[in-house]
Structure 1
């Protein structure tokens, strides 16, 4: 099972990087598998720590993919990598092992600390649709553009029926990004 989360890392100079990521649990490990190239990958290899943030604010996922990475942070409990201030929960990790792969290496991380800050109330359909679109946007370079357009049309119904202001804002950011990408493709760049 893949869980969609926000991963925070820091570089050796202490600059925080925030990225949406799918993680898996494997026995006692959390596995992070970023596509190359990846600042998350480089930061984790260099500093050996990361924080996994569980959030129901889909704007964070959409924002990170559309250049909006200035989300409020606060100190984690046991490591120097900050967490999202408004996370529902967070998990602090230490990198133990790397399973090398040319495209998508697997980083096996040990849980150092977990904390719940408030209960998860569940996703509405619009939140799920925004997450799906965010995943598509993260793969615009890898997927046929027509497939993305078809998926967006399907997902739009859920947004129209169940979105609140946060979900609508996140959806609009992603749609603007797709529109700009399409214009670049048509211009041949």
Structure 2
């Protein structure tokens, strides 16, 4: 007998079911990213393909998430702990992603987890009214709802890049499954 997968959205607790649904989708995207990288060989994170490394993409995912959370949603300076987790400017002077080399996967995972916990803590306490309230910034206005959508989209795009890097570099042949693991 063949077992079948149950594809359901697990929702973290939140003040509102709409927010919980958004957080659940964001968490599923992160779990998919983590499943893809967790069994890579240590040197795989630093393999350069088409100007990118997996390590640099993981760093970029985390730095973008923390920036949107603090700069747009909370409208605060980045907390002091960020300097330890983000010692490298994430973009070069010509606006390419910086190469983040030599960090073990455990450090990337720790960074992603730390950033995500702050995001979850913030959104889980948010009311539906605050979720939809625009933050007035100098170049645009943005709601926390849109930020959540953007972060889901952003991680999904880079997940595809990570899978492509793995395939092109031959880092792990024949082990990809999109919906289930």
Report the TM-score, using the length of structure 2 for normalisation.
0.25
**Quick check: which one's helix share is greater?**
2
Report the TM-score, using the length of structure 1 for normalisation.
0.24
